[in-house]
Amino acid sequence: MIAVVAAVGLWAGRAEAVMIPDFPTLEQVTTPAGVAEYKEAATVALVRPQRIWTPPCVLVRLVAFFSDLYPAEWPPADVCGPRERSRRYRFETIEAIKGVPPARFPAILGAAYPLDPDFMRKTRPDLWGRVFDADAQRAAKLHAGFSFQHSGRLNDRMVEVEAPFDRPRMLDGTVSYALLDPDLDYLVFRDADGRVQHWEPVQRGAAGKDLLVGRLRRLKAGETDVRLTAASADFFPRFADAAIYDMSGCKPRLAGGGRLTILDRRVEETLGSDLAGPARCDPKAKRPQLFLVLSADPTAWPYGLGEHGATVRLLPIIDGKIRPGDLVSQLRLTPDTPIPVEQVIAWVGTGPGAEDLWMGDRPQDPPLRLAAR
């Protein structure tokens, strides 16, 4: 999994700092989402969840007792607490995309079955109203949104139901119990031992239009370069803001355009990472070194952590122009001819809706017009 541990605050408004991750490598950022997971997995399948019998709590507690005595023979998979409870599902394979997945296997995600939506809706409406429909919203985008195609990753959805101060806090793929929407299909990646490594929602009946499903099918067919192509005129408007920075002496200073003065630290950190691409400063340079700085969301957390590391991107300005191919992205931009900086700045901010950092998409943004070549 292309793993970046998200740092999030409490939704009630009280912020809580979490570990600050390292910047991802250039390979991680430019590898389209799903490719690394596909290569690592023993089997990949498009599956459909089916409800199966869920044992009552009294039986779950009895099993939990024997699990403590005989953990190998009685592995715990059901959750039955006063404020959280799981429901059993079985995955039925619709399409084998890699290897030979079983026709049916239990939907144990992490170490347990996913949370019961009916129970959680009654006991934790504050939590459920915020997060349960997230998979459906993500699937409805058909993996064609700006953030996912530009710098996305698979979004293993887990939820910590008893966070500090008894407020819901969400981290992706790291803690507590899984969420699963039985009205959706899922892409499931399993290791050689049959454990689920990743799962990604897919709108039911729309697999033929879903760009992530299409990408994995291309990998199955033997293609090696599965990046999609977008037009520069369609892509750059999706960024929220842009500014020109002078990087002489490797100390970024705002030189014009945009509202990115709050991003000085983020720009400096990005400049020293793989996310800078060919944007390199010369500490001994006496003449101005100008770079175009693009931000997917200038109001984000100060460290600029988005779907995959910093939301900031840097492009060297040469003779008043930038080259689209210098942009660090999972997409291939066309045409790759130099574009005047003034044109790019005029484009920026004309396309996006409000950025949704939980979902990794822009709900008001129409899908990018993408092509396989």
Query: Tokens 């060919």 map to which residue?
Result: 278
**Residue of 305, 313, 268 whose CA lies nearest to 18:** 305
Asked if pLDDT for residue 96 goes beyond 80, the answer is yes
pLDDT at 66: 67
Asked if pLDDT for residue 259 goes beyond 50, the answer is yes
Asked if pLDDT for residue 131 goes beyond 90, the answer is no
Asked if pLDDT for residue 11 goes beyond 60, the answer is no
Phi, psi (deg, nearest 5) at residue 82 = -70, -25
User: Is the residue at 19 inside a domain?
Assistant: no
Residue 330 neighbours by CB distance under 10 Å: 20
Same domain flag for 176 and 281: no
Same domain flag for 237 and 216: no
Kindly state the helix (H) or strand (E) to which residue 94 belongs, with its residue range.
strand 89-98
**Residue of 18, 33, 26 whose CA lies nearest to 310:** 26
User: Is the residue at 168 inside a domain?
Assistant: yes
pLDDT at 13: 31
Choose between 83 and 172: higher pLDDT. 83
212 touches 200 (CB < 8 A): yes
**Domain count across the chain:** 2
Same domain flag for 106 and 207: yes
pLDDT at 74: 46
Asked if pLDDT for residue 307 goes beyond 60, the answer is no
Residue that is last in its domain, among 226, 247, 277: 226
User: Is the residue at 12 inside a domain?
Assistant: no
User: Is the residue at 13 inside a domain?
Assistant: no
User: Is the residue at 15 inside a domain?
Assistant: no
Choose between 260 and 265: higher pLDDT. 265
Q: Which of 101-105, 118-122, 271-275 has the lowest mean pLDDT?
A: 271-275
**Residue of 229, 272, 222 whose CA lies nearest to 247:** 272
For 149-187, write each residue's pLDDT tens digit. 887 778 776 766 554 333 334 443 333 678 899 999 999
Same domain flag for 162 and 280: no
Same domain flag for 217 and 264: no
Burial class of residue 48 (count of CB atoms within 10 Å of its CB; 0-12, 13-18, 19+): middle
Choose between 236 and 159: higher pLDDT. 236
Choose between 158 and 1: higher pLDDT. 158
User: Is the residue at 320 inside a domain?
Assistant: yes
Structural domain containing residue 247: 230-371
Same domain flag for 71 and 179: yes
Query: Which tokens is 260 given?
Result: 């990115």
Same domain flag for 256 and 317: yes
Q: pLDDT band at residue 52, thresholds of 50, 70 and 90?
A: very high
pLDDT at 163: 42
Same domain flag for 126 and 186: yes
pLDDT at 68: 60
Residue that is last in its domain, among 211, 226, 241: 226
Residue 187 neighbours by CB distance under 10 Å: 25
Q: Among residues of the chain, what percentage have pLDDT more than 70?
A: 72
Same domain flag for 182 and 259: no
Q: Alpha helix locations (H) across 194-351?
A: 211-220, 232-235, 264-271, 341-347
Same domain flag for 211 and 246: no
Query: Which tokens is 261 given?
Result: 């003065």
User: Is the residue at 10 inside a domain?
Assistant: no
Top mean pLDDT of 105-119, 126-140, 168-182, 279-293 is at 105-119
Same domain flag for 235 and 330: yes
pLDDT at 12: 29
Same domain flag for 141 and 191: yes
Residue that is last in its domain, among 226, 250, 271: 226
Cα maximum dimension of the chain: 75
For 323-373, write each residue's pLDDT tens digit. 999 998 889 999 999 999 999 999 887 765 444 433 344 444 556 677 765
User: Is the residue at 250 inside a domain?
Assistant: yes
138 touches 359 (CB < 8 A): yes
